Every structure is written in C-alpha cells, then in structure tokens.
Structure 1
Amino acid sequence: MARSNKLHDAVVVITGASSGIGRATAHAFAREGAALVLASRREHALQETLQECERLGGRGIGVPTDVGDADQVARLCDSAVGRYGRVDVWVNNAAVTLFGRLEEAPRVAYEKVIQTNLLGCVNGAREAIRQFREQGHGRLINVSSMVAHAGQPFTSAYVASKWGIRGLSECLRMELADAPNIHVSTILPASIDTPLFQLGANYVGQPAKAMPPVYPPEKVAVAILSAAKYPVRELFVGNSGRMMAAIRTLVPPLGEKMMERKVYSDHFAEDLPIEPSPGNLFDSHGSGSVRGGWLEREHGGSSGGMSLVLGLAAVALPLALYAYHRRA
C-alpha cells in the first residue's frame, strides 16, 4: 500500500478499538475490506468488535493490550507482522480521561491519563515507525483532540496529553523527512458521542457530560479513513473545534474565557453529587458501545449546541478579526 489509496487488504492496527471512536473506526476499515489488528484492554469487547467487523466484510485478530506498557505494544506490532507480514496503517486512538482540578486529582490517576494517552501514543508510534522504515512505507494516524488547540478547565491531564500528541506528530513529520512514503497525520475531534465521559475518572463531584455541539464517532472514523487514503498534516472533525482554535489563535484571552464559561455551563450535569471515582483508569470495565448516548440527550442531535456555538462565533469572530488587524 506504499503508493495506493485503496484499503482493501491493507493491514491496519487500531488501539482503543473496543468502544467509541476506535470501534467505529474498525467498522469503517472493515467495510473497506482491510485486515485488522485490534487492540484494547477489554478482551471480551474486543472480540465483539471483531465479530462485527467480520460481518461488515473485514477480517482480523484481537490483541489485548495496555498501550501504556511498551512491552505490550511491542507485542501488538509483532502480532500484526507475524500474522500479515507488514503494517500499512497504525491508528493511535486509545484514551482515558479525568475530570477534576489539578490540585485535587490524585497524582497516580493524573499520571495514568498521561501514561495511557501520551506515552501510549509514543509507544505505538515507536513500534509503527520502526516497522514502516523496515518495509519502506506506512501511515501513522494519531488521534488528538480539539483541546490540543484550546485548553479547558477540569481536564488538564487530558488536555496536556492531547496537546502532547499534536506536538509529537509535528516532530515526527520532521524526523521522517527522509522517508517520503511514511506519513503522519493528526486527527482533532471536537466533542464526540462516546462513553468516554461516563467512564472517566471524576473528582469534581458532579457527573460529566459531553459538551454540545456533539458529533457522532462515525464522523471521526470517516476522517481517519480519509487520512489513511490521503495523508494530511492535521484534520479537524467538527466545525466547533476549528472555530475555537481560530479564536484561540487570534485572541487568546477571549478564547480562554469562552471555553471557561462553556465548561462551567455545559460539561457537568446538575444531578445529585457523586463520590470521587477513578473510573476506568485502572480497571477496564464499562460499555463497549460505539456511542455514549449524548446525541440523543441533546434532543435527538447536535443542532441546539451548534446554534449556541454559531451564536458565539457571530460575536467572537468579528472581535478576533478586529484584534488581529489592530495587532498587525
């Protein structure tokens, strides 16, 4: 697949494949007829994903993997090469999250988010690039987030990890300048309808929820598929992320204030207080579903949230452009 845009029979490794974006992405590659090597901590959910992919026209294997463990990721790569002889596409997608103020979150929980999200991506990239160099081609796709352009309160571990993934990808593109057939793409999803919010560690005292506008995980899967066929540097999924990044670039104080207010108003449910919990950081329990049910909760779609964002944009973008021209 060195110079091909077709994914039929391409060997694709996907981490975090048991739910959410990873599971939707596995489905998307299966429809293309790819050979899948799926990884996650939850073996049962992994096997369910494989069965779904087989019904969609794909084939593959599941390799239970904690991406924060470099030895396990090395074994994942060895399994892919041992089964299929090569790796054409590697998708670093596995992620966990934590809600809480920096000073209130347990250190061990905070470090686990960094270990899984950022070092897990490092471990995957290291194995993938070694294999890509050996075979002379390959496409590495790192799933970051819109928060890699615009931070937010109460999720600093997640934001730091996703910001790091974006920076790592940028560094790798420069390091691979001598390998024109090896490409690195960064995917930047906005708020996505996955179980991440229910499963995240929570030290806020209120249930977390996806902030509107919420986009379907299948939309991210389409973007990943596109990057596998036609490599790009960075690709936003969801106009809200693209808009927020623009505002944060042009008028940082305004962007920070907008995000701060949105998180306080929209990121936590006004339900009964909940006890502090490490979520699925150390125990891979929870839903193996693609979606988290957030689109349904937003009155059957994300239009209400999008209206809010467009309303903010109507005020913010003129201010941003004015500030930009004043500065210039």
Structure 2
Amino acid sequence: MRGTDTSHQGGRVVVVTGASGGVGRATARAFAARGDKVALLARGREGLAAAAEEVRRAGGEALVVGVDVSDAQAVDDAAQQVVDAFGHIDVWVNNAFTGVFAPFTEIGPDEFRRVTEVTYLGFVFGTRAALRHMLPRDRGTIVQVGSALAYRGIPLQSAYCGAKHAIQGFNESLRCELLHARSGVRTTMVQLPGLNTPQFDWVLNRMEGRARPVAPVYQPEVAAKAIVHAASHARRREYWVGGSTAATLLANAVAPGLLDRYLARTNVDAQQQTGRHDGPANLWEPADGPHGQDFGAHGRFDDEAVGNSPQQWVSRNRGWMGAAVTVGAGILAARKLAGQVRR
C-alpha cells in the first residue's frame, strides 16, 4: 500500500551515504540488524570495507560503492549500481557531510564551496538520484539527516550551518511538491544533537584547541535508532533527537536574540578542548585514505556520551504529553538564557 508505515518490515533495500564512519556507520548497522540490504556510499576505502563487514555480521547484505557525493553523475551512477544489484531502492539516507571549524573570515572561498557542495548539494544529488528510481514505483522514503544547526547557527561552523539550513528549506519545498502530486514517496528529516563521532578528529580545524561536540553528547547509535524509525514512519515531516535539540530549537523560536548572545558567550569555548588538532582533514580527501585507518562509528568521547534519549521516545510517541514536555522545555530554556545573558 502506498505511503504505509513499515516499522516491522525487514529485507528492504537501503542506501546510506557517509556510511564509512560516525552516524552513517551506526545507521548502516542498525538497518542491517533488521535484515535489510544496505548499500554503503562514501569515499574512504578502509571505512567502507569495515562497515560492510559489520553489516554482514549484523545480519544484512552489504554493497560497497565508493563515491564523492558532490559529483552528481557519480551519485546517479551509484544509485544505478544499487538497483542493478538489489532491484530497487526502498530507503535513501542522506548523511554525508564535511565541515570546517574556524571563524568565517578564516575559511577560504574554495573551502566554503567544498563544504556546501558535499553537505548541501550532496543531499540534493542523493535525493535526485533516489527519486529517479522511487517515483516510477510510487514508493520509497528519503531521510535527510539534519541537526539542531539546521535551524540555529552557532559560531565557528558557518559553512556547515549554512548547508544544514539549506537542506531544511530544500526538503520542505520537496515535501510540498510530493504532497501536491499525491506521491507515495515520502521525505522526512531527523534533527540531531552533539554526537560522539570521529568527525571532531577529521574535520579541518583552525581553532586554538581540539574540536569537540557541544554537551550533552550522545552516542551515534541514538541517532541511528531515530533514523531507522523515521524511515519506517515517514509521514512525520521531522524528528528531533535529544533534549538539547528540543531545547535549542524551541528557545530559538521563542527568544532568538537572547540565544544569539548566549551562544556568542558560551559556544566558542564549548566547541573545543585543550590540545592541538593533529589528525587528518577530510575536506578534500577521505580521512582514512593516506593513513589506512578505520575510524569506526565512535569518537573519543565515550566517557561522557549517553546511549539513550528520553526526548526521542517523546518525539516518537508525541501527543498531548509530548507537546507539553516540549513546550515546557522551550520555556525553561528561554528563561535560562535570559538569566545567563543578564549576568
């Protein structure tokens, strides 16, 4: 039946971009545990090979496709490889990204363009490739992996925030078009919090200290669980993961000016820790390329990262209770901001 939820359905064909590490890696494993066939799209050979082995051990079937998502033709060719191998595509997860940690004035034009091409246009090209195969079947789900930063920009990540904002607008436009056409193809977006992934050791970093996620930090499996759920319940336009995401987005809706001042005061320090960045930068080349290293799904923050999110349960089971909890969190966050800004 077109557009139906498939929360208990296994054996689907799933494409995950950015599957060699971090959230993509954890998401590929989560789909595989359901018995799905998982196509792994990324640049890094070591990470893709290790991810494919994890998919097989989890109970899924793996297909490795090396691709740079900023290349539209390469993404189209990758989608065709998946269809040639598995027959069709049921779920496409856009997740691949890159970034630069630096003040805007210290990011070169080519660097800013590269972040935009991978993190924004990579989603556009992935969505276009998925639709080419989904629309004729009148079924399929596209999951855009977003962030709290799709709504709320923060210092030192102007290129990444700009790209995530663009994805948000693009996805809303596409969703309206699909609804107008009464299409059986669905699109949804999952907004994520700070996560314990390897990205903080492989992004281009011009800050004084080592990059880190803004606390509280969640394990990538929390994100993966939300993405798998969204893929099976795509009538929902959006999912928020983590209490920090809900509080940030609601505070931004209620008191964006106060949030500007709060983030200006706190988030430069909150995104770095003592020490110098000495790892690879994956802006132009995959991080595991010259080093032959598999980074896996987890970063270096296991000692503080949490493996569950009560707010995610509320988001999945929203109703009057979920609405009350969410609105309450927004009011409390706005009051907290006001108190801290006045100090």
Q: What TM-score comes out, normalization by structure 1 length?
A: 0.89
User: Which residue does 2:198 correspond to in 1?
Assistant: 195
Change beyond 3 A, Cα 1:90–1:216: same
Q: Number of aligned pairs?
A: 310
User: Which residue does 2:302 correspond to in 1?
Assistant: 295
Which whole-Å CA distance do the structure 2 matches of 1:236 and 1:316 have between them?
Answer: 16
Q: What does 1:110-121 align with in structure 2 at a 5 Å threshold?
A: 110-121=112-123
1:139 aligns with 2:141: yes
Point out the more displaced range, 158-167 or 179-188: 179-188
User: Which residue does 2:320 correspond to in 1?
Assistant: none
- Residue in structure 2 matching 1:252, options 247, 250, 256: 256
- Residue in structure 2 matching 1:267, options 271, 277, 280: 271
Determine if contact 1:92/1:143 at 8 Å carries over to the other structure: yes
Determine if contact 1:91/1:140 at 8 Å carries over to the other structure: yes
Shift, 1:53, TM fit? 0.8
1:176-211 residue CA offsets vs partner (Å, 9 max, x unmatched): 121431111111001011011111111223221111
Change beyond 3 A, Cα 1:84–1:209: same
Point out the more displaced range, 248-257 or 197-206: 197-206
Which whole-Å CA distance do the structure 2 matches of 1:189 and 1:259 have between them?
Answer: 18
Point out the more displaced range, 84-93 or 177-186: 177-186
Q: What does 1:207-246 align with in structure 2 at a 5 Å threshold?
A: 207-231=210-234, 232-246=236-250
Change beyond 3 A, Cα 1:20–1:278: closer
* Structure 2 runs not aligned, ≥5 long: 289-293, 309-328, 339-343
Which whole-Å CA distance do the structure 1 matches of 2:81 and 2:260 have between them?
Answer: 44
Determine if contact 1:27/1:56 at 8 Å carries over to the other structure: yes
Shift, 1:316, TM fit? 3.9
User: Which residue does 1:184 correspond to in 2?
Assistant: 187
Which whole-Å CA distance do the structure 1 matches of 2:248 and 2:31 have between them?
Answer: 30
Determine if contact 1:216/1:291 at 8 Å carries over to the other structure: yes
Point out the more displaced range, 129-138 or 286-295: 286-295
User: Which residue does 2:321 correspond to in 1?
Assistant: none
Equivalent AA in structure 1 for residue 82 of structure 2: A
User: Which residue does 2:176 correspond to in 1?
Assistant: 174
Which whole-Å CA distance do the structure 1 matches of 2:134 and 2:307 have between them?
Answer: 39
Shift, 1:4, TM fit? 5.3
Give the match's secondary structure for 1:295.
coil
Shift, 1:258, TM fit? 2.1
Q: What does 1:16-27 align with in structure 2 at a 5 Å threshold?
A: 16-27=18-29
Give the match's secondary structure for 1:123.
helix
Determine if contact 2:115/2:283 at 8 Å carries over to the other structure: yes
Shift, 1:302, TM fit? 8.8
Which whole-Å CA distance do the structure 2 matches of 1:315 and 1:80 have between them?
Answer: 47
Shift, 1:92, TM fit? 0.2
Shift, 1:71, TM fit? 1.1
Q: What does 1:150-165 align with in structure 2 at a 5 Å threshold?
A: 150-165=152-167
Shift, 1:109, TM fit? 1.3
Which whole-Å CA distance do the structure 1 matches of 2:189 and 2:330 have between them?
Answer: 25
Determine if contact 1:128/1:140 at 8 Å carries over to the other structure: yes
Q: Report sequence identity in percent.
A: 31
Point out the more displaced range, 180-189 or 251-260: 251-260
Shift, 1:254, TM fit? 1.0
Equivalent AA in structure 2 for residue 317 of structure 1: A
Q: What does 1:56-95 align with in structure 2 at a 5 Å threshold?
A: 56-95=58-97
1:149-178 residue CA offsets vs partner (Å, 9 max, x unmatched): 111011000000111111111011011121
Shift, 1:47, TM fit? 1.5
Determine if contact 2:138/2:183 at 8 Å carries over to the other structure: no
- Residue in structure 2 matching 1:29, options 31, 34, 37: 31
Determine if contact 1:96/1:116 at 8 Å carries over to the other structure: yes
Q: What TM-score comes out, normalization by structure 2 length?
A: 0.85
Which whole-Å CA distance do the structure 2 matches of 1:172 and 1:295 have between them?
Answer: 37
